Structure 1
């Protein structure tokens, strides 16, 4: 069946229920429809003429013609639909990710950094219409990927993020500042930074509040995320002789007051991720808060199919009349 077929007036199809009723009526009244001739005997009429046997064909032609007219009244047509989407409000997003040694803490599985990479990758795949850039920071910061619409590049960048690429520390101001620098020339109607950290600003030459003011002036909204459980966690504290990290329990310290300040001043929100599930929920929430408006335009092309049914009905009616007054003509 053609999936693009539809009927403009499908209510007329109910009339098709009359066809079996008319067929039954003809079956039970067919003998009365023929002319009768009363004679004293039928011995000379033992053999029926072929036209008598085939006369019901006339009624069949009429029923098929009527069915075709009913289908034509229902207006069958093919509908071709083409969609065109137009992004009416683009969003440029920079993800500023803390890659300090503390991100290897094991309070999230398998550690904070790997948990973040999994959630961030899923977030990127849910933003097909936005441009995304990646900034990483520890004791200093740098741009791993400028804002781009190529999600393959962004996903590869996230996958390749690892600890030890830059000097250790937590330079929140520099991470935020790098994100602002990436968005300052953006022409997008909405500009967003997702700043994630698990510690306290203790490095860098850019004050976090100064970077916040710059973001505010440029109309950049900042969502801040503090990642880490409440209480203590296994942190890397040293390396053994083979270079393997040594982990010990230590208290989790996150400058939540600073993160709340940054979010409030830029009209964003602050979130706390204490486990893998909560981290995923946070990125899902941000995904809902920052929606790109898409305008979808549908174009419909209708191809009317009722004409063949009208022609068929006309042809069958003509054929019935022709046969009725020629081959099946009655002389009684």
Structure 2
């Protein structure tokens, strides 16, 4: 509580180093172009993509300026960049009227969005299934990143090439969101009119070094009044959408701001596992990227059978790998694609991946044969999120309860034992008396 606005950071030289603006919790105005894929590859899912586009539009705050571009093999200007307040329904109506076309060229769509921005810096929100070659879109996105325009890609459609969409976002310094994660756009562009509401700390972008592999359960409860600066990376948000952790590159270095804290002035639950990992990774990021000197094939990410996956190789020269053709995308950086044909573990150079079954299989449901087997053996079905029920059943199965009925049978048993003992004693007495008579000579 002695930092940021309470510590007078906005009046010091520290302010220019930070990825957040101190004392401003509402944020500013952003120029945004919604870029919607209406190509032939998306024809079957166009209604889905329209719904996602309308959902994205609903996440954007009134203070933003928004335009719309649609694309197939060419780009179409649907609406000029304009203040969203008062024009939201007009833009929504134009999105609803979109019709499908022929061809797919994501690079053309991105260039059309950039033309719509003109000389203004801004953000392009790309809604596409990503079914296109990666070379040109990645190159265009990299060019935009150098100009200060980032691309946020949203996977939309029945079949989504997440690898390409993640590459586009990464090359421009943006983020990738799945279709069911669009509510996180409120964290970036919601402002006062579209505030985010959550329960605990929320990871905004899971594709960064700081947030990858992190699970957050804590809510420290307090946060400084700050807003994201243009070009900064929004990593973690508080339940009301205020930046909790933000980062950016400043000169040749990196800066991370942690603005959330507990009532006692400490980081509270952020210092306890599993949340403490995000603090550790934030420090590591600021000190230096641990993977900077790493060479070889980097982690290819999620892999599915029959789906093209992008891999990145870092080194002076690309490796020769069967069925993977690498191309240079930067200094000592190469990209390639491969499509696994069967489920299971595989490897590319020094990187191991696990290929999951085709996404279409998930729609078939549970096999009836499995249902019969479970029923016949007296088992039960559980959902993936029912871990507590599984643990409870295991405890019940491990504990055997045996009922003991009260009975008087022990009395009869005790009597029989006593009778047997008495008979033995009587026989011993008789034997003893007979032996005594013989020794004395008495008749």
Which band: TM-score by shorter chain? 0.3 to 0.5
TM-score (norm. length: structure 1): 0.45
**Structure 1 or 2: larger helix share?**
1
Give the number of the structure whose alpha-carbon radius of gyration is greater: 1
